[in-house]
Amino acid sequence: MKLFVLGDEEAVLGFALAGVRGKVAQTPAEVEQGLKEALSDKEIGILLITADAAQMVREEVDRLKISSVSPLILEIPSSRGLVEGPSVRDLIREAIGVSL
């Protein structure tokens, strides 16, 4: 299982230092293309998307979080700050129905 990061240049470069593949996305079209790329690669088990990138295509990201079994989609803070929203624990409970 591989990780993939989608978002701003700082996030993608930071994760690249740890060996995680990613795609810089600065427009809604680039975010949508990155989502398609990640969803088509069956080796990707976790998709990390920055809050700013997710916000550009919010409806699509929310739909995928609910309907996609793999990869698990997690929002991470953008370089501009923290994300307001559900915690990872809440997302896991929503995705698999188990409370941690």
Q: What is the mean pLDDT of the chain?
A: 87
* Per-residue pLDDT, 80: 72
* Per-residue pLDDT, 100: 58
Asked if residue 8 lies in contact with residue 20, where contact means CB atoms within 8 angstroms, the answer is no
The CATH number that applies at residue 49 is: 3.40.50.10580
* Per-residue pLDDT, 67: 86
Q: How far apart are CA 66 and CA 30, in angstroms?
A: 22
pTM attached to this predicted model: 0.78
Answer yes or no: is pLDDT of 88 > 80: no
pLDDT digit string, tens, across residues 3-31: 999 999 999 999 999 999 999 999 999 99
Dihedral (CA of 17, 65, 54, 86) sign: negative
Is-cis flag, bond preceding 86, omega within 30? no
Strand partners, 49: 6, 75
- Pseudo-torsion of CA 89, 90, 94, 97, nearest 10°? 50
Enclosing domain of residue 8: 2-96
Q: What's the total number of domains in the chain?
A: 1
Give me the mean pLDDT over the 30-46 stretch: 94
